[in-house]
Structure 1
Amino acid sequence: MNKEETVTFSRLKTAFCAGLAAVGLLVQPALAADYPHKTVKLVTHSSPGGGTDVFLRELIKHLSPIMDVTFVVENVRGGAGAKAIAYLAGSPADGSVFYGTTPSYINTSLLSKPEKTFEDLDPVVNLFQDPQIVFVRADSPYKTLKDVVEDAKKRPNQVRVGVSTPGSLDRQVMEQFKAETGTEVTIITHDGGGDVMLSVLNGTSNVGIGEIAELRGQIDAKKIRLITTYTEQRLPQFPDVPTAKEQGINLVVRKFRGIAGPKGLPREIVAAWEDATQKVLQDPKFKAWYEKDALIPAYMDQATYKKFTADFAEGQKAFFTKYGITTE
């Protein structure tokens, strides 16, 4: 090929590539090219500002470019999560709609026995364990969890504790708290963690149970104060906050955060989520967010997450029996 032919070929190659790019035919990453939907809905039972709502809205910022998908978060509230479960169960199993999972969707299924339950959904992936913390308003007289216990013993049913939905893990753990401490407190349920925070700030609840992500703004503004964590060890982000176990109260709570979808999701859809989830957990910007808010990476693929969910449900049944929590 002479010099003139080489120049002509180069120009033709450039023009051909430019043409492909103009019509979007240049090769894209396999995951983006293969995913069948450009818009995907993520449903949560949580109210705006609640833990799952905050988690999903942050997740999609980093997941969207990885999957080349536009995500939309929708709050389907009511029935302590039952409406959201029913919504998912009735949605097409084509990868266009998913649900942000927490223990609430299992507890609601077991306790209220709705028409559709967690067994009507397919676990897809798990991302995190989310430490549970106990907090009060900044001007509260309670400095520790022991202070709450002592006051509750002096004034039965006068200490008001804010939790999220009736089916939430934090609500159920309050039964264990009462049994462990020999106290009676008034438990106030809400639509989500954001509402619990407001309840504490306005004085409706004396104490709240929640997660760091939903409280971060008020923590930084010094409007609320953390008094304990329901973890095995102190959180590195809050080294001055003692665990419940350090205060003589044997409470450790393991809350998970993941994704589920309608029953019967195609394997290729699940594989796309498994791949993307592992990538997003390594994303530096997402990692900076979840480490700051004390989320603990706990990736599970679908097979592992299915077994975990089934085992967790059995464990919750035993928990309800032990603490006399009705399943009617």
Structure 2
Amino acid sequence: MKKCFATMLVIMMMLSLVSCGQKPEETPAPQTTPAVSEPVASTTAPEIPAWKPTKTITLICPFNAGSTGDAFSRPFAEIMSKIAGVNVVVENMGGGSGSVGTNYMLSQPADGYTFSYHSNTGALTTAAGTAPFGVDDVLPLVNICSDYHVLSVLKDSPYKTLDDLVQAELDNPGSVRFGGAQVMGNNHLFALNMFRDAGFTAANYIPYDDGGSSALGLLGKNIDCLFSTASTVVGYIDSRDMRVLAYTLSDRIEAQGDAPTFAEEGFEHLNGYISFKGMFINPDCPQKVLDWYKDVTAQVCESKEWKEFIAKQGQIDTFMASDEFNAFYDDYVANATELFAAAT
């Protein structure tokens, strides 16, 4: 019996060992190589650091100290200094109807530390071919303000309306004595635009040295009517020694009472005709410099301080940012070039 039990125990142990030895092996997980991502090309251009001046900026006023250009350049520089956080100083450099100063600005390094003021005088000397630079040699930055133009007569003039004057000249070409400041200046261009739109064939334009002397010419009855900026004759209009037949703004303003605009009278080329003032720079400056100037000069013009200043000066807020002013400037020069060529 004991022998039989021992035999059975041995058999059970052997079966247990066999069972353990036949346990199936685990299948090892397949070995994989980690995927390596291919570099993806960036579609975003690297950001160009914004430019900011680190030293004094010079604003060239191409007219003498005490001039109209000087009177507008200095407050502009003062406000710009506050906004830019760097000193902006005005340097007067008169001569050549503003060409000397502008040419000097263009001769300086195109690094953003020199820019210039100019009025439409610069555009007119370019159109007349007397400037040492072309229309593409300067970049208009911003139109800071403008004066508009008026056609005035004496208070007792027989020409009660613009139509009276136009009809008199059409009926008898060359009979009306038109006057204004300078030849190939803004008043001359004003006159030529009117002559073209009115269909005058032999209109007589009498030039004076400046606005003041041309106003005296009308008061002295040496001319029958006067082409001028509104600011030139505002005192005479207020005193009622002169009256305005029409003016060049697109819409009527209270200051001109019942006088019509040229636009209302059908004068296409005098609709919005202005004597502009602006800031210019060398177009060869790096784009980031130009972008900074466009932004900062626009901020000056939009400031409350600047708006209050030009209002006191009797100027019209005709703010134009760089792109709009650039297109306006090119058209202005092209129109003046055509009319001046026809007049010579």
Deviations 1:165-195 (A, max 9, x none): 4333442342332233343332233555455
**In 1, are the aligned partners of 2:61 and 2:92 still within 8 Å (CA)?**
yes
Change (3 A) 1:100 1:113: closer
- Equivalent position of 1:28 in the other structure: none
Tell me, in whole angstroms, the C-alpha distance in 1 between the residues paired with 2:217 and 2:256: 23
- Equivalent position of 1:101 in the other structure: 119
Which of 196, 201, 217 pairs up with 1:179?
196
What is the RMSD computed on CA atoms of the aligned residues?
A: 4.0
**In 1, are the aligned partners of 2:116 and 2:279 still within 8 Å (CA)?**
yes
Query: Structure 1 residue 297 and structure 2 residue 318: aligned?
Result: yes
Q: What is the TM-score normalised by the length of structure 1?
A: 0.67
- Equivalent position of 1:232 in the other structure: 250
Secondary structure of 1:105's counterpart equals: helix
Alpha-carbon distance, 1:217 to partner: 4.3
Secondary structure of 1:241's counterpart equals: coil
2:60 is matched by which residue type in structure 1? K
Deviations 1:270-320 (A, max 9, x none): 44543343333333343244356351333213x444444345444555x54
- Equivalent position of 2:137 in the other structure: 120
- Equivalent position of 2:271 in the other structure: 252
Q: Tell which structure's C-alpha radius of gyration is larger.
A: 2
Deviations 1:173-230 (A, max 9, x none): 4233223334333223355545544444454443222333444444445454322112
Alpha-carbon distance, 1:109 to partner: 1.9
Tell me, in whole angstroms, the C-alpha distance in 1 between the residues paired with 2:95 and 2:66: 7
Aligned residues, how many? Answer: 288
**In 2, are the aligned partners of 1:54 and 1:214 still within 8 Å (CA)?**
no
Moved more, 263-272 or 235-244: 263-272
**In 2, are the aligned partners of 1:35 and 1:269 still within 8 Å (CA)?**
no
1:179 is matched by which residue type in structure 2? R
Pairing of 1:198-237 with structure 2 (within 5 A): 198-237=216-255
Deviations 1:15-45 (A, max 9, x none): xxxxxxxxxxxxxxxxxx9463265332249
Tell me, in whole angstroms, the C-alpha distance in 2 between the residues paired with 1:73 and 1:139: 46
Change (3 A) 1:34 1:261: closer
Identity %: 22
Change (3 A) 1:220 1:53: farther
**In 1, are the aligned partners of 2:59 and 2:114 still within 8 Å (CA)?**
yes
1:246 is matched by which residue type in structure 2? E
Change (3 A) 1:173 1:158: same
Tell me, in whole angstroms, the C-alpha distance in 2 between the residues paired with 1:46 and 1:320: 32
Tell me, in whole angstroms, the C-alpha distance in 1 between the residues paired with 2:78 and 2:59: 13
Alpha-carbon distance, 1:58 to partner: 6.0
**In 1, are the aligned partners of 2:178 and 2:224 still within 8 Å (CA)?**
yes
Secondary structure of 1:299's counterpart equals: coil
- Equivalent position of 1:9 in the other structure: none
Tell me, in whole angstroms, the C-alpha distance in 1 between the residues paired with 2:329 and 2:81: 26
**In 2, are the aligned partners of 1:137 and 1:225 still within 8 Å (CA)?**
yes
- Equivalent position of 1:41 in the other structure: 60
**In 1, are the aligned partners of 2:58 and 2:91 still within 8 Å (CA)?**
no
Query: Structure 1 residue 76 and structure 2 residue 97: aligned?
Result: no
Alpha-carbon distance, 1:64 to partner: 5.5
- Equivalent position of 1:21 in the other structure: none
Structure 2: unaligned runs, 5 residues or longer: 1-51
Secondary structure of 2:261's counterpart equals: coil
Change (3 A) 1:73 1:133: farther
**In 2, are the aligned partners of 1:124 and 1:259 still within 8 Å (CA)?**
yes
Tell me, in whole angstroms, the C-alpha distance in 1 between the residues paired with 2:93 and 2:232: 15
Tell me, in whole angstroms, the C-alpha distance in 1 between the residues paired with 2:164 and 2:311: 29
**In 2, are the aligned partners of 1:77 and 1:191 still within 8 Å (CA)?**
no
1:258 is matched by which residue type in structure 2? G
